[in-house]
Chain A
Amino acid sequence: MPADTVTNVVIAGLGGQGVIKASDILAEAAFRAGHDVKKSELHGMSQRGGAVSSDVRFGPEVASPMVPDGEADVLLVLAEDQLDVFRWRLAEAGTLILPGRVDADALPHRRTLNVALLGVLSACLDLDEAHWLEAIRANLRPRHHRENEQAFRLGREAGTV
């Protein structure tokens, strides 16, 4: 099983920031694109505002649900002050995405930061935009679709620059 065909993404932040939701959307977008997908995180105590991270891996075949140490192709951190906690997960040539990549004032709502940063991420992954939008709609309540689609596009533009 050639491990280099697997894309490894780690999403991290603090409980309540939508880390898990963001990883659900990414996993579903990759799933809808026909990949084998594994996504992993720990629930429980992390729900109480503590540091939380989620691993998403996709490709033709994925074995372990966890991204091996130092092998994340992309590390997306929603809380900048937690960067040092998770930096070791990133591969040497990996891509780091921080909240500063999107203009916070341009966000339709503060809670859409996670989806906006997925937009930035989408620019460096080979997944069709249609799959991303379907995944966003499948994972969020209808009344939040519009603002999140808007946030996603905002991030995607920022990521394409």
Chain B
Amino acid sequence: MPDVTTAADRLLLSGNEAVALGALHAGVALGTGYPGTPSTEILEHLSAIGGRAQWAPNEKVALEVAIGAAWAAGRAMATMKHVGLNVAADPFFTVAYTGTVGALIVVSADDPGMASSQNEQDNRRYALAAGVPMLEPADSQEAYDFVREAARLSERWGTPVLVRMTTRLCHSRTVVRPREAEPAPPTHFEHRRRERTMIPAGARPAHGRLRKKLADIAAWGETAPLHRRVDGDPALGIVTSGVAYQHAREAAPEATFLKLGLTYPLPLEAIRTFADGVERCVVVEEGDPYLVEACRTAGIAVEGKPEAYRLGELTVGRVRRMLAGEADARPAHPAGKAPALCPGCPHRSVFEVLRKMDLIVPGDIGCYSLGVLPPYEAMDSLVCMGAAIGMGLGLRHALPEAEARRVVSIIGDSTFVHSGITGLVEMMYNPPPTGHVVLILDNGTTAMTGLQEHPGTGRTLDHRPTGQIVFEDLARALGVPNVHVVDPRTEQDRLEALLAEALAGSEPTVLIARRPCLLAAKKRRHLQRETEG
């Protein structure tokens, strides 16, 4: 593989790799996050090129760890997919009040079009809601540059900075010219108790400081070198940001462009001047009408897009139709072969049992989400990480007894560590009269995102041994009376018998169906061969 740490003057990098290299060259001393498509490869790459990167149990913990590092005057980065920021929203909003000393870069990888996600929420709204400055790169070069810029902005104003990526940026490779790396600054601790302890007496002035800071950044942003103007025919002016800029440039090569880099706070006066100087001013943006609404609120007359263009990814063709004022009549294309559980996947054995027993199965997020598809059709819901347990308990509380006894919550090992543990606590604290059954599908890896380690595997991001969370010990420590571990492949009958017994009884039960993912086992053998040389 090409070694990107050498002083090559031109590299071909994915957006994720560019974020990692930008972070390394910005002197980021710690990268932390939770795997989630399309963000996963950022930390993997950071580790591969010699940076310090680690998986946290979930995004909230990751962001808290990064905040601590930034309070120690270090430069830190937390990475996550868009829905991960929902999990991390609590610290995200309030660290905007407390501020930071060192740089705190939060990377949110949104998924317009939902290539691998449960929704297509537009996280630009988070920047506005929390009062956190946001940068939106449009290719790998800008991903590299903007991460370095985020570090500077963050330290200059003592604020977290959101770098908003999208699937297309994360997973596209484009040319990057890196610059000289900066060293990581020395760390130290300074008490700032009033600034960081958000009791109301501290939080009230902190909110005032935040708004002042944002006003200063907005003023600076009006002329910041983060925005790009491309002069063309003044008949059509396009205000845009992110990858939408690339599509628009190709769809309307003759147009005049204002391509925004800092998209919160917005350079509204620069946009106003731009709009005044063109005959027709159109905002081209993917997802929500975030820029359009901000412009209109500021009294800038701009054209937006019809509502249909809000759904899914933009493409050159869609931008062409949008600019031509055409309806979003997307041609229907035949669907390709759908993904399926691998042949020999241990989840298959579990779903065979679940289907046969005709159960009510609140499910969760991972490879096993594919259990909702034929041939199994044995999962009833998928909402968010860890939801299977709480929702299963709610169903048990509400349903008549005969139905309640058919409810089994299924959750994968990495998802269980991420957000399932508090669900088990709830099961013990508010047990339904019929009890409940939680089935942990433990394949020893975070499979769907590409076989990442997690606290249940007992190995770090770079596969070194570390402390291991043992699910059966944890469940017993919480007081769960029935805990069983079963191999779904070799003990399929036993799995069925244990399930039947637990459903008939009225006690909280945790069943752990443990058998390693075949792909993970193969990868582990490969890593072992490499370490042994």
Task: State whether A63 touches B339 (Cβ < 8 A).
Answer: no
User: B110 to chain A: closest CB distance in Å?
Assistant: 13
Of B115, B334, B370, the residue contacting A42 (CB under 8 A) is B115
Contact flags A55-71 to B (C-beta < 8 A → 1, else 0): 00000001111101100
Chain A residues with CB under 8 A of B331: 69, 88
Residue of A3, A14, A41, A42 most packed against chain B (CB within 10 A):
A42
User: A132 to chain B: closest CB distance in Å?
Assistant: 15
Of A39, A45, A64, A81, the residue contacting B339 (CB under 8 A) is A45
Q: A27 an interface residue at 8 Å Cβ cutoff? A: yes
Within 8 A of A (CB), among B62-89: none
Q: A100 an interface residue at 8 Å Cβ cutoff? A: no
Contact flags B1-21 to A (C-beta < 8 A → 1, else 0): 110000000101000000000
> Once bound together, how far apart are the Cα atoms of A69 and B175, in whole Å?
23
Chain B residues with CB under 8 A of A14: 337
- Closest chain A residue, CB of each to CB of B169: A65
Q: A49-B342, A63-B249 are in contact. Are A37 and B336 (CB under 8 A)?
A: no
Q: A27-B12, A38-B172, A40-B168 are in contact. Are A45 and B335 (CB under 8 A)?
A: no
Q: Number of residues in A with C-beta < 8 Å to the partner? A: 41
Of B38, B335, B337, the residue contacting A44 (CB under 8 A) is B38
Task: State whether B336 touches A138 (Cβ < 8 A).
Answer: no
- Closest chain B residue, CB of each to CB of A52: B336
Residue of A48, A53, A64, A86 most packed against chain B (CB within 10 A):
A64
Task: State whether A64 touches B316 (Cβ < 8 A).
Answer: yes
Q: B247 an interface residue at 8 Å Cβ cutoff? A: yes
Task: State whether A50 touches B250 (Cβ < 8 A).
Answer: no
> Once bound together, how far apart are the Cα atoms of A51 and B173, in whole Å?
20
Q: A43-B38, A65-B243 are in contact. Are A82 and B336 (CB under 8 A)?
A: yes
Chain B residues with CB under 8 A of A63: 246-247, 249-250
User: A89 to chain B: closest CB distance in Å?
Assistant: 9
- Closest chain B residue, CB of each to CB of A66: B315
User: B507 to chain A: closest CB distance in Å?
Assistant: 36
Of B37, B174, B338, the residue contacting A65 (CB under 8 A) is B174
Chain A residues with CB under 8 A of B2: 138
Task: State whether A48 touches B171 (Cβ < 8 A).
Answer: no
Chain A residues with CB under 8 A of B448: 44-45, 48
Within 8 A of B (CB), among A8-39: 14-15, 24, 27-28, 31, 36-39
Chain A residues with CB under 8 A of B193: none
> Once bound together, how far apart are the Cα atoms of A27 and B337, in whole Å?
25
Task: State whether B116 touches A37 (Cβ < 8 A).
Answer: no
Task: State whether A42 touches B337 (Cβ < 8 A).
Answer: no
What are 12 contact pairs spanning A and B, CB under 8 A? A31-B12, A36-B175, A41-B171, A42-B115, A43-B37, A43-B116, A44-B37, A44-B449, A45-B448, A47-B450, A48-B342, A88-B333
| B interface list, Cβ under 8 A from A | 1-2, 10, 12, 37-38, 115-116, 139, 167-168, 171-175, 243, 246-247, 249-250, 253, 315-317, 331, 333-342, 367, 370, 448-450
Instruction: Rank and list the top 4 A-B pairs by shortest CB-CB distance, nearest first.
Output: A51-B336, A44-B116, A50-B339, A48-B339
